[in-house]
């Protein structure tokens, strides 16, 4: 069966035997056509079963496997149990070395049953999907894009992540660092292809409204979402789809949260994000804008109003201040305030030399925005080292940045390496391993910064950075403006201080708040509020998990079936024809340097259609079972067809 015919089927999954709509109910692995609500609940149910299965297998070997739907292997472990108990009894009655060894080996089998059952209803996911915090099925939507099925591809992404156009522009794409294609070439442009299918699709309907109109059974429970950023809106959307009455409280007069307020136009055009926010806000949610938690209402008020759960997605809104700085009149600005003004369209007119303090993504955005706001020269000074090839959180290898181990992080600037490269390309200077210690002022305005070199960075027990400065290596930097962007932290003042928390889903910024004074209903915190500034896709994933958590708490376990699909050994290269051309990543259109530094126009213009299809076709579909080609067949195919002919015949 050719790849093309697979994609023509009712499902585009490799093992699918479904050929028409009538047969669709046979399959519970379907990612393409299940109702969105069922698809989400199925995902949640798989994870919950994965958590319970080892406990059951500890009681009775194999029970956890049965519970997860893996009946054959469960039966095997169960059959082992009487044998092992018999041997233990036999050893107890008449000890011998041989029986002891056998008994130990069967105990080992029992342990294996517990360990193996932790896989739950396992099915293979390609490394890109595993690396994605939102677990977006990258290989599926990339291949739908390769086949020209942009609408299907987009709706597949939307079923997991309601902001495809946004994420397709600003995601830090950990999926690409794990892409198998990158092992012998360049990674597939997974992130940009999301944007491509979004750009190519013009729909007259709201995807989520259509899902809601399929008929959702109201659950009769009210859940409050506090904060209308990506995490809060995602939670509100999925709670609504599950049948909850959802009220969204937001301190500002508009929805969107951090990306709407701080993401500059050259990175994320306002209209793209607004379109995606608006289609959630249109879904009959009870919207209460201009309501600040702690000022206009409290958690107790929410409970008194009859809500049964609260999801807090307030972001990390408190900027960290630096000593020795001053006021705006003196030439000192806060990075987040500066970005807010830039994004709102009334940015500060800068001139002369601008010094940005900080090494994170916000500092990079501030510097790049300062370049566009009229500054003659922009420098960034940061404690950390500027990443160099071979020694950064991403190593430079085969023309791409690749991630190094987490224990090395902290030495280097936390900004994404590709963003640092973009800033450098726009003329920003980076003064790494430096710290400002004081500022000179003339006529009430800042004129220069006195700095010291950083010898090394230590950490205190709370994980805060403690720079060790080299006293005899000082230098000064001229500065007409100083903009601080050294981070932001969650503000728990509405609770009187940071509460005790318990993680809900490992690896995601989602926690339950314990001992929340005055309320007895479940309270979750997610996104930046839970773990400090995180990525947008992590915030979105936390919102989705929060919705699943409330469903489980308030509506019980969903009725979904799970079918086990055995794991296959993956050798993706065997799945796919290879060639130097296929190892090369296609590039997006970008605007020229002069246009970049003088306007806020979006830097990336996305993919041209032909290049996008070729790029998508480079994906090796690592979730497909191994399909070995004989070397002879491979050889004859390579000499009889040109590479480009292969591409066009596949699309």
Binding site for ligand SF4 (CB under 6 A): 126-128, 132, 134, 136, 138-139, 142, 167, 171, 173-175, 179-181, 188, 190-191, 194, 537, 572, 619-622
Q: Which residue has the tokens 């839970």?
A: 530
CB of 627 to ligand SF4, least distance (A): 14
b/e code 368-387 from CB counts within 10 Å (16+ = b): bbbbbbebebbbbbbbbbbb
Minimum Å gap between C-beta 164 and ligand SF4 is 8
Distance CA 555, CA 558 (A): 8
CB of residue 537 vs ligand SF4: minimum separation in angstroms? 4
Residue 611 near residue 587 (C-beta atoms within 8 A): yes
How many Å separate Cα 31 from the centre of its chain?
A: 19
- What's the closest the beta carbon of residue 161 comes to ligand SF4, in angstroms? 6
Q: Minimum distance from CB of 620 to ligand SF4 (Å)?
A: 4
Q: How far is the CB of 276 from ligand SF4 (least distance, A)?
A: 14
Distance CA(242)–CA(543), nearest Å, equals: 13
Of the two residues 167 and 364, which places its CB atom closer to ligand SF4 in the complex? 167
Is the Cβ of residue 191 or residue 246 nearer to ligand SF4 in the bound state?
191
Nearer to ligand SF4, 132 or 371 (CB): 132
Three-class DSSP labels, 202-220? CCCCCHHHHHHHCCCCCCC
Nearer to ligand SF4, 168 or 227 (CB): 168
Pick between residue 70 and residue 586 the one whose CB is nearest to ligand SF4.
586
- CB 158, min distance to ligand SF4, A: 12
- Of 127 and 315, which has the nearer Cβ to ligand SF4? 127
Query: Which is nearer to ligand SF4, 78 or 122 (by Cβ)?
Result: 122
CB 190, min distance to ligand SF4, A: 5
Spatial CB neighbours of 399, under 8 Å, sequence gap ≥ 6: 186
Long-range contacts, 473-476 (Cβ 8 Å, 24+): 474/450, 475/434, 475/451, 476/440, 476/448, 476/449, 476/450, 476/451
> Residue 171 or residue 413: which is nearer to ligand SF4 going by CB?
171
Residue 171 beta carbon to ligand SF4: minimum distance, rounded to whole angstroms: 3
Which residue lies nearer to ligand SF4 by CB, 45 or 178? 178
| Cα 439 to Cα 476: distance, rounded to the nearest angstrom | 9
Give the whole-angstrom CA distance, residue 270 versus residue 263: 8
Residue closer to ligand SF4 by CB (options 126, 162) is 126
- Looking up tokens 């900027």 gives 319
Distance of CA 400 to the CA centre of its chain: 20
Nearest residue (CB) to ligand SF4, 194 versus 416: 194
Secondary structure string (H, E, C) spanning 13-69: CCCCCCCCHHHHHHCCCCCCCCCHHHHHHHHHHHHHHHHHHHHHHHHCCCHHHHHCC
CA 207 to chain centre: 21
DSSP one-letter code for 573 = G
Shortest distance in whole angstroms from residue 173 CB to ligand SF4: 4
d(C-alpha 39, C-alpha 16), whole Å:
17
Smallest distance, Å, CB 621 to ligand SF4?
5
CB atoms within 10 A of CB 326: 14
- In whole angstroms, the minimum distance from the beta carbon of 401 to ligand SF4 comes to 15
Write down the least CB distance from residue 167 to ligand SF4, Å. Answer: 5
Q: What is the 3-state secondary structure (H, E, C) of 439-486?
A: EEEECCEEEEEEEEEEEEEEECCCCCEEEEEEEEEEEEEECCEEEECC
Q: Helix 609-617 vs helix 138-146: angle between axes, to the nearest 10 degrees?
A: 130
In the bound state with ligand SF4, the residue whose beta carbon lies nearer, of 227 and 572, is: 572
Give the sign of the dihedral formed by CA 75, CA 80, CA 85, CA 89.
positive
Vertex 250: Cα angle to 244 and 256 (nearest 5)? 90
Minimum distance of ligand SF4 from residue 587's CB (angstroms): 17
Place of tokens 């994906």: 619
Q: At CB < 8 A and 24+ separation, what contacts does 466-471 make? A: 467/383, 467/435, 469/435, 469/437
Nearest CB to ligand SF4, comparing residues 175 and 504: 175
The CB-of-88 to ligand SF4 minimum distance in angstroms stands at 46
Please tell me the distance from the alpha carbon of residue 263 to that of residue 566, in angstroms, as a whole number.
Answer: 43
Gap between the Cα atoms of 179 and 197, Å rounded? 20
Q: Which is nearer to ligand SF4, 64 or 526 (CB)?
A: 526
Cα–Cα distances in angstroms (integers) from residue 584 to residues 400, 530, 616, 619, 623, in the given order: 11, 39, 12, 12, 21
Q: Give whichever of 186 and 384 is closer to ligand SF4, judged by the CB atom.
A: 186
Q: Minimum CB separation from ligand SF4 for residue 28, in Å? A: 22
CA distance 23 to 181: 35
Q: Edge-to-edge, what's the strand order for the sheet holding 445-459? A: 434-442, 445-459, 465-478
Nearest to 287 by CA among 241, 239, 242, 253: 253
| CA angle at 276 for the pair 273 and 279, rounded to the nearest 5° | 145
Residue of 102, 98, 71 whose CA lies nearest to 85:
102
Nearer to ligand SF4, 66 or 394 (CB): 394
Distance from C-alpha of 41 to C-alpha of 36, rounded to nearest angstrom = 9
């Amino acid at each position: 069966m050719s790849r093309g015919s697979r994609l023509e089927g009712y499902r585009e999954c490799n093992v699918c035997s479904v050929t028409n709509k009538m047969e669709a109910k046979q399959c519970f692995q379907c990612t393409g056509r299940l109702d969105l609500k069922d698809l989400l609940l199925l995902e949640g149910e798989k994870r919950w079963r994965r958590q319970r299965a080892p406990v059951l297998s500890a009681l009775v070997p194999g029970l956890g496997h049965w519970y997860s739907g893996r009946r054959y292997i469960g039966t095997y472990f169960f059959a082992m149990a009487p044998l092992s108990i018999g041997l233990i009894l036999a050893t107890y009655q008449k000890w011998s070395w041989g029986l002891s060894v056998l008994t130990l080996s069967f105990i080992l089998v029992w342990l294996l049953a517990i360990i193996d059952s932790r896989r739950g209803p396992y099915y293979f996911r390609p490394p890109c999907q595993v690396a994605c915090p939102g677990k977006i099925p990258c290989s599926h939507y990339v291949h739908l894009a390769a086949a020209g099925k942009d609408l299907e591809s987009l709706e597949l992404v939307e079923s997991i992540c309601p902001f495809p156009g946004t994420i397709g522009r600003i995601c830090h794409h950990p999926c690409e660092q794990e892409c198998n294609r990158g092992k012998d070439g360049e990674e597939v442009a997974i992130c940009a292809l999301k944007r491509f299918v979004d750009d190519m699709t013009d729909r007259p309907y709201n995807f989520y409204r259509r899902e809601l109109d399929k008929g959702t059974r109201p659950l009769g429970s009210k859940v409050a979402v506090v904060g209308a950023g990506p995490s809060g809106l995602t939670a509100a959307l999925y709670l609504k789809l599950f049948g909850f009455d959802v009220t969204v409280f937001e301190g500002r007069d508009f929805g969107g949260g951090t990306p709407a307020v701080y993401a500059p136009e050259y990175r994320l055009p306002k209209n793209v994000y607004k379109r995606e926010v608006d289609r959630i806000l249109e879904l009959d949610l009870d919207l209460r804008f201009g309501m600040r938690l702690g000022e206009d209402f409290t958690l107790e008020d929410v409970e008194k109003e009859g809500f049964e759960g609260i999801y807090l997605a307030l972001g990390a809104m408190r900027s960290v201040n630096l000593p020795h700085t001053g006021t705006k009149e003196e030439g000192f600005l806060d990075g987040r305030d500066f970005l807010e003004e830039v994004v709102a369209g009334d940015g500060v007119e800068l001139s002369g030399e601008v010094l940005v303090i900080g090494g994170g993504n916000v500092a990079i955005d501030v510097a790049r925005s300062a370049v566009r706001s009229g500054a003659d020269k922009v420098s960034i000074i940061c404690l950390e080292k500027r990443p160099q090839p071979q020694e950064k959180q991403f190593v430079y290898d085969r023309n791409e940045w690749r991630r190094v181990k987490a224990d090395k992080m902290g030495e280097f600037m936390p900004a994404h390496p590709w963003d640092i490269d973009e800033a450098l390309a726009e003329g920003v200077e980076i003064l790494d391993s430096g710290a400002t210690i004081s500022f000179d002022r003339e006529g009430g305005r800042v004129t220069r910064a006195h700095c010291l070199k950083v010898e090394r960075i230590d950490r205190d027990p709370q994980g805060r950075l403690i720079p060790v400065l080299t006293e005899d290596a000082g230098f000064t930097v001229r500065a007409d403006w100083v903009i601080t962007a050294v981070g932001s932290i969650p503000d728990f003042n509405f609770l009187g201080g940071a509460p005790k928390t318990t993680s809900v889903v490992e690896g995601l910024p989602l926690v339950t708040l314990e001992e929340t004074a005055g309320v007895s209903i479940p309270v979750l915190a997610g996104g930046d509020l839970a773990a400090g500034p995180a990525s947008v896709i992590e915030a979105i994933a936390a919102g989705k998990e929060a919705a699943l958590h409330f469903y489980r708490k308030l509506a019980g376990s969903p009725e979904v079936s799970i079918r086990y699909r055995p794991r296959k050994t993956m050798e993706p290269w065997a799945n796919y024809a290879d060639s130097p051309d296929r190892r090369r990543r296609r590039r997006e259109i970008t605007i020229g340097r002069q246009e970049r530094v003088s306007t806020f126009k979006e830097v990336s213009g996305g993919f041209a259609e032909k290049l996008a299809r070729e790029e998508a076709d480079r994906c090796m579909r690592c979730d497909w079972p191994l399909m070995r080609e004989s070397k002879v067949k491979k050889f004859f195919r390579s000499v009889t067809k040109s590479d480009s002919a292969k591409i066009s015949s596949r699309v």
